Structure 1
Amino acid sequence: MSAGQRMHPGMHPIDEDLVRRLVAGQFPQWAGQAVERFPSGGTVNAMYRLGDGMVVRLPLVEGGAGDVALEQEWLPRLAPLLPTAVPEVLGAGRPAEGYPWPWSVHRWLPGVNPEAGAPGEPLLLAADLARFVTAMRGVALPGAPRAHRGGPLALLDASTRAAIGELRGIPEEDVDCDAVAAVWEDALRVPGPDGPPVWVHADLMPGNLLVDGGRLTAVIDFGCVGAGDPACDLFPAWNLLPGGAREAFREALGVDDATWIRGRARALSQALIALPYYRATNPAMAGTARHVIRAVLGEG
């Protein structure tokens, strides 16, 4: 992303000096730790390594500020109920030094993001992801917030159709807009969930997963977490897993046809919206979006 291409309007400037001042002013016990920007394909937060064992996570835009409070409230409660490591909040930062929003210090979680379509151990990773999703669905904590994007599929209709229209004007992306529109319209005719909302992560993108030796070691970024359609956590079937592992993931979760179709449509909607928005500013997000569109159309 060049200096003239900002990922979002209203982004607050963040650099290592600001992070050092914020940490020194609010967490003096960590004031001597090295601070280094951590390159990330994330879209809502900037990340800075703090020493060897911590990471500072700061919203880039006002819309991410609510996610900080959400994670600080729910991560400690969810962590003991899940089979995979999740971020541990070590410090809750406040606005200061001209920075306007809350921020967090987390314990550093080792691992790397898996490669979309070519994870090192696809069948094992599919099984790991299914265990995580099953555990999320089984969470019984009361007072769950509403998951971001977790409502009826029809709520995404206007934004999805607008994105398809925008992609028709970008021929170099070579998206079969008639085909993706048909997939979307078919999904809108599918029944909604036949049970109550369940806990979902709601943003299981490759950039929010950490692996080591091909196995899932951590799930990060719980800013969309809450209760919603169980189809919301099927995203890895199309944004990460190749065909055989995709089917193994579905089988392990026991997903019925209607839920599978809704999950595919949700993944497609996210990709269609992301591609025109991020194509010039976030190569990782745009690349994942292209992969999802190919995977969905290839499956159909």
Structure 2
Amino acid sequence: MVAGETHSSARLLDDGSVRELIAAQFPQWAELPVQRFASAGTVNAIYRLGDDMVVRLPLLESGAQDLEREREWLPRLASWLPARIPEVLGAGAPSAGWPWPWVVYRWLPGDHPRPGALSAPVLLAEDLAGFVAAMRRIPLPNAPRAYRGGPLTLLDSATRAAIGRLREIPEERVDCDLVTAVWEEALRAPAPAEPGVWLHADLMPGNLLVEGGRLSAVIDFGCLGRGDPACDLYPAWHLLPAGARRVFREALEVDDATWARGRGRALSQALIALPYYRTTNQVMADSARHVIRTVQEELGR
């Protein structure tokens, strides 16, 4: 399994299995080298195929559904967006070697941006705002419901349970009273009109690629669909420092209610992830800590 995969129900995979799948379904690529690509992701295994391709294999049935969604929509979205997105080169079918559909994409160069290590944070904030705005303007009909695009109330029970668990882990230094207040403010914020806007819905650093400090590509569209525009404000707390965060918000003209919901959504995801991953996936846990710390600092605590 790729580093970072921790779900107990995930399937096991190795380089030899991937070579066999490629040879059986894409014989034209059978002689290309296959190499596991280290990732902190928990839903898909990632393998380089030659120099120009990448294979994503779902480790869970839900991941297979995400890839099916990408196969349907990515070719239709590409022309509307200012950054490169994954290009499907081959669709692998379920077989005796793997129980779910899998996909071969063109390899996209670039590095994942790291909080605190951005060479051009304001320019990146402008790029991210441009991408989010372009997603919102997509006119394609019949969009699915975004995975994270529904009412915040759907997350309330899990968020409060996570806060309860974090109260029992004082070494994480989470101000549980403060984050509870932030979450409740988000719940009180007026909800957006249905059916919402087109969303990527998972704009975390691991799904962004940069070159020369600028946004070059956005990957992993498995959560895409229509929903609350606050869902695509994740970079504000996952990645951007305070000044660039303001640029991001101003470029998108985000009102107070949407900002509160966006902060609440990012915080909820982090609060749930931290106790779940804190001993099993350092990248995911550190990302959650960064979001929680950023929210606490933003509110002066």
Is TM (by shorter chain) over 0.5? yes
Aligned to 2:252: 253
**1:135-163 deviation per Cα after TM superposition (whole angstroms, max 9, x unaligned):** 00001111100001101111110111111
Aligned to 1:132: 131
RMSD over aligned Cα atoms: 1.5
Aligned to 2:55: 56
Question: Within 1, Cα distance between the matches of 2:43 and 2:177?
Answer: 31
Runs of 4+ displaced beyond 6 Å: none
Question: Within 2, Cα distance between the matches of 1:2 and 1:93?
Answer: 19
TM-score normalised by structure 1 residue count: 0.97
Aligned partners of 2:194 and 2:227 also within 8 Å: no
Aligned to 2:171: 172
Q: Give the match's secondary structure for 2:10.
A: coil
* Distance apart, 1:117 and its partner CA: 3.5
**1:74-127 deviation per Cα after TM superposition (whole angstroms, max 9, x unaligned):** 000001110000000101001124321110000000000001243111000000
Aligned to 2:88: 89
**1:182-231 deviation per Cα after TM superposition (whole angstroms, max 9, x unaligned):** 11012111111146410000000000000011000000000000000000
Aligned partners of 1:16 and 1:36 also within 8 Å: yes
- Equivalent AA in structure 1 for residue 247 of structure 2: A
Question: Within 2, Cα distance between the matches of 1:99 and 1:214?
Answer: 38
Distance 1:198 1:130, change over 3 A: same
Question: Within 1, Cα distance between the matches of 2:54 and 2:2?
Answer: 25
Identity of aligned residues (%): 69
- Equivalent AA in structure 2 for residue 247 of structure 1: R
Aligned to 1:104: 103
Structure 1 segments unaligned to the other structure (5+ residues): none
Aligned to 2:42: 43
Question: Within 2, Cα distance between the matches of 1:296 and 1:17?
Answer: 44
Question: Within 1, Cα distance between the matches of 2:161 and 2:138?
Answer: 35
- Equivalent AA in structure 1 for residue 229 of structure 2: P
Larger displacement relative to structure 2 (203-212 or 176-185):
176-185
Question: Within 2, Cα distance between the matches of 1:143 and 1:6?
Answer: 33
Aligned partners of 2:2 and 2:39 also within 8 Å: no
Aligned partners of 1:114 and 1:210 also within 8 Å: yes
Distance 1:109 1:6, change over 3 A: closer
Aligned partners of 2:2 and 2:38 also within 8 Å: no
Distance 1:65 1:2, change over 3 A: closer
- Equivalent AA in structure 2 for residue 286 of structure 1: A
**1:23-58 deviation per Cα after TM superposition (whole angstroms, max 9, x unaligned):** 000000000000000001112111000000000001
Larger displacement relative to structure 2 (105-114 or 88-97):
88-97
Distance 1:287 1:105, change over 3 A: same
Length, aligned pairs only: 299
Aligned to 1:298: 297
Question: Within 2, Cα distance between the matches of 1:173 and 1:101?
Answer: 38
- Equivalent AA in structure 1 for residue 186 of structure 2: A
